[in-house]
Amino acid sequence: MVTTDPVMHQPLTPDYYHYEWAPIDSVYRSSDGGAVVTWRDGEQLKCHPLWLRENAPGPGGIDPRSKENDLNIVDLDLETRVGKAFVENGALVVHFEPEGRRASFHPGWLRHVAEGEHRPFALLPEPQVWRAAELTEPPTHDGPSVLASDEALADWLDDLLRYGLARLINLPIGQETVELVGRRIGVLRDSNFGVTWHVTVDIDPNSTANTNVELPAHSDLPSRETPPGFQLLHCQENTVSGGRSTMTDGLAVVNHLELNEPDVLELLTSREWTFFNRDDSQDHRWTGPIIDKGDGRVPWTFRAFHPVRGFPAMPEEEITGAYFAMQRLGYVANSDEFQIRYQFAPGDLVAFDNHRVLHGRESFDATAGVRRLRGTYLDSDEVYSRVRVLRRHLTSTIPSEMLLTTEEDNNA
């Protein structure tokens, strides 16, 4: 039975991380049949017996080939408990009763659980909420450096997650640039607009975006069950007058409403609307509140784009109030206090969180000059995953070839 990593000669872990050896100081059995481990600095982890058994290396636990769990839950003996537990060379060693199975656990892996590093948002930067006075322009990075270096990519994405937007400058203005940058992050999200799409003034537009009119603070594709998490917009050409870009931090708007207009926030989070995105060959629709705060564990999602808002999905007597609340959001989100405005120059690319940040543009005069952007979407998962992996590789003392060899096999 293979229960140690063949390269590292350490207990297997249910993932491809290479943990620092963080020797455990002591262990005792808890009254529920689990184990409590303690490190020298006082950090502790209480291990439930069933969770520990499920993560034991070997059959009915962690398969050394996939590093995933092969336990069929119906085969788990719910009476499982830790019969004996001790520390061996800093690792936790446990005998499970009544099975009689011995298993050892990597102390660095246990330590990362003790420190909460396994949680979805643990390795990502904390959002920093901003108003126009605090962030006058998008945080700006050098585009060619981000294309060439993982360190520069990590710095840019760090700002993107912290502020909800981050800009690259000095990029080539070719049509393929947005795709090149997007693929540095991860898999692009296709839609009926294509993997990448243009924003220009079209003769026969299938979206308000492709006209010269103002786009007030909005989020894209609220007509989808899950709107795209992130958007990249790259400026290829811009010789028109007007058409400055705008951005508003939705989290700052929420904080403001919570404090000053709680009734409005309540209406925005509870009254639902149906959004449509339809043309000859498409019929997308979804119903949701303008501000969706989910279950509180994931960031808020804004659904706001008047051209694709179809119907109020609420009882008749609530409709006037819901329109009032939406109008209040319009005033606040497009006000000088919350919204920044800046020029979009050829070679610039702005990435933003389409769930959190409301973007837009001023109207422009399309009779003289051309304004040509190219965009793409990514799911949030792609951005989050890239940030975690970059952090793992850039902070690890393990040679990166060793980390990268396992990457392709890990399709969990």
What are the residues binding Zn ion (CB under 5 A)?
220
Which of Zn ion, ligand OGA, none does residue 247 bind to, with CB < 5 to 8 Å depending on kind? Answer: none
Q: Write down the least CB distance from residue 344 to Zn ion, Å.
A: 13
Q: Write down the least CB distance from residue 220 to ligand OGA, Å.
A: 5
Which of ligand OGA, Zn ion, none does residue 245 bind to, with CB < 5 to 8 Å depending on kind? Answer: ligand OGA
The DSSP secondary structure of 194-261, one letter per residue, reads -SEEEES--SS-SSGGGSSS-EEEE-S-TTSSS--SEEEEEEEEE-SEE--EEEEEHHHHHHHHHHH-
Q: Which is nearer to Zn ion, 159 or 220 (CB)?
A: 220
Q: Write down the least CB distance from residue 218 to Zn ion, Å.
A: 6
Q: Which is nearer to ligand OGA, 217 or 322 (CB)?
A: 217
Q: Which is nearer to ligand OGA, 112 or 189 (CB)?
A: 189
CA distance 396 to 134: 34
Q: Which is nearer to ligand OGA, 44 or 343 (CB)?
A: 343
CA distance 364 to 238: 11
Angle, alpha carbons 124-127-133 (nearest 5°): 150
Which of ligand OGA, Zn ion, none does residue 386 bind to, with CB < 5 to 8 Å depending on kind? Answer: none
Q: Write down the least CB distance from residue 257 to ligand OGA, Å.
A: 23
Packing angle between helix 150-163 and helix 177-185, nearest 10 degrees?
Answer: 90
Q: Other CB atoms closer than 10 Å to residue 106's CB: what's the count?
A: 26
Which of ligand OGA, Zn ion, none does residue 171 bind to, with CB < 5 to 8 Å depending on kind? Answer: none
Residue 311, φ and ψ in degrees, nearest 5: -135, 145
Which residues partner with 196 through β-bridges?
Answer: 376
Q: Which is nearer to ligand OGA, 96 or 305 (CB)?
A: 305
Q: Which residues bind ligand OGA (CB under 6 A)?
A: 199, 209, 215, 220, 245, 359, 361, 373
Q: Write down the least CB distance from residue 238 to ligand OGA, Å.
A: 9
Widest pairwise Cα distance in the chain: 81
Contact 212, 366 (CB under 8 A): yes
Q: Write down the least CB distance from residue 264 to Zn ion, Å.
A: 23
Contact 277, 221 (CB under 8 A): yes
Q: Which is nearer to ligand OGA, 130 or 352 (CB)?
A: 352
Which of ligand OGA, Zn ion, none does residue 351 bind to, with CB < 5 to 8 Å depending on kind? Answer: none
